[in-house]
Amino acid sequence: MARMLELVLSLSILMSMIFSSTAQSCKGYAFSSNKIFRACNDLPYLNSYLHWNYDSSSNKLQIAYRHTGITSSRWVSWAINPTSTGMAGSQALVAFQQTDGTMRAYTSPISSYQTSLQEGKLSFDVSDLSATLANNEIIIFATIGLSNTSTTVNQVWQDGAVSGDATQVHATSGANVQSMGTLNLLSGESSSTGGNDRIRKRNIHGVLNAVSWGILLPIGALIARYLKVFKSADPSWFYLHVSCQSIAYIVGVAGWGTGLKLGSESASIQYDAHRTIGIILFCLGTLQVFALLLRPKPDHKYRFYWNIYHHLVGYSVIILSIINIFKGFNILNPDKKWKNAYIGVIAALALNAVWFEGYTWYLVVKRKRSEIAGKMPRGMNGSNGVNGFGGRQHQGV
């Protein structure tokens, strides 16, 4: 009986330890350095906690960012974003254990989604920056001089792998794209935006542009080039072509608009090449729409020049669209399956174009030969004479 009681007591202690470890809270946490923080917050993702002291008179913020369940082969960071709620534009504090066993803590301004967390000066003052690693927990300590008078800040926290002494790109799914939110330094109230709004806008921007400029426009071009060869498809091919390109333009303008909105929300982040190509595409696409309204009749003397312009601008838009979509993939860095899927679609369209090109040339050549044969005099094929000239051959003696 006594052994049973000992067993039950041991299990109870073990279960209490398990539950306490899985339901940690920032409250009551004692720092080994005897530092005391008046406020703290349990961050909702990545096993993270933020402790802070805020002096509103001097606008100084003293923080301790804790990231638990971490190993020496991982980096962690906590950042304030002065301009938006996303990662781009954030001013980060980064820490990890180097190969020699020492801790490295430094500042890194985040200028793009493809950041390698290079060391650099932040837009606000940082002092007393240090980091510790103990019991699978990294803690970053710092004192920040906030540059604005707002008591609510946009915060971002993150972790990722370390290779040698170089930080690697963090995961782009799950908790790693949700670890952001706002924090009121006075009340302690926080809300997790989870990046949902910005991520949703980025996804909408990418999908709209990939479907419109990158898929519908090439399909519309294939329809115009190859279906019109078939006499039975006339004039249906023209209406299909116009419908496909019109839908592509309307959807593409919507995608272009979401891109402008994203750019305005992160003015400090500029993707110049992607942005410039996008503006060029919008202008050329709009010119194509107006060119349709000014399309001369087939027998008009300017129709030849209009066709050259229409084809040149159209193919230029398709090429630039595909280039810009791949630039967008590099910026957004989605799962590889999405990029591979688009490559598959483009490859399928290209293979169809090659097949249709060969087949339509075969039909055109065959049709030309039939027309030439139909225009030849009947005597040329020997129907009016044995020798093809209307006369009979001389009989041999």
241 in a labelled binding site = yes
Residue 17 neighbours by CB under 8 Å, 6+ apart = none
Q: Cβ(143)–Cβ(128) under 8 Å? A: yes
394 in a labelled binding site = no
- What are the backbone angles phi and psi of residue 145, rounded to the nearest 5°? -100, 100
300 in a labelled binding site = no
Separation between Cα atoms, residue 144 and residue 65, nearest integer Å: 13
- Cα separations (Å) of 105 from 27, 92, 129? 25, 11, 7
Other CB atoms within 10 Å distance of the CB of residue 286? 12
Structure tokens at 15: 């279960």
Nearest partner of 160 among 109, 100, 115, 202, judged by Cα: 115
| CA angle (306, 307, 309) in 5-degree steps | 65
310 in a labelled binding site = yes
- Cα separations (Å) of 203 from 197, 304, 329? 10, 41, 11
Residue 284 neighbours by CB under 8 Å, 6+ apart = 313, 316, 317, 320
Residues annotated in a binding site: 205, 241, 274, 310
Binding residues for heme b: 205, 241, 274, 310
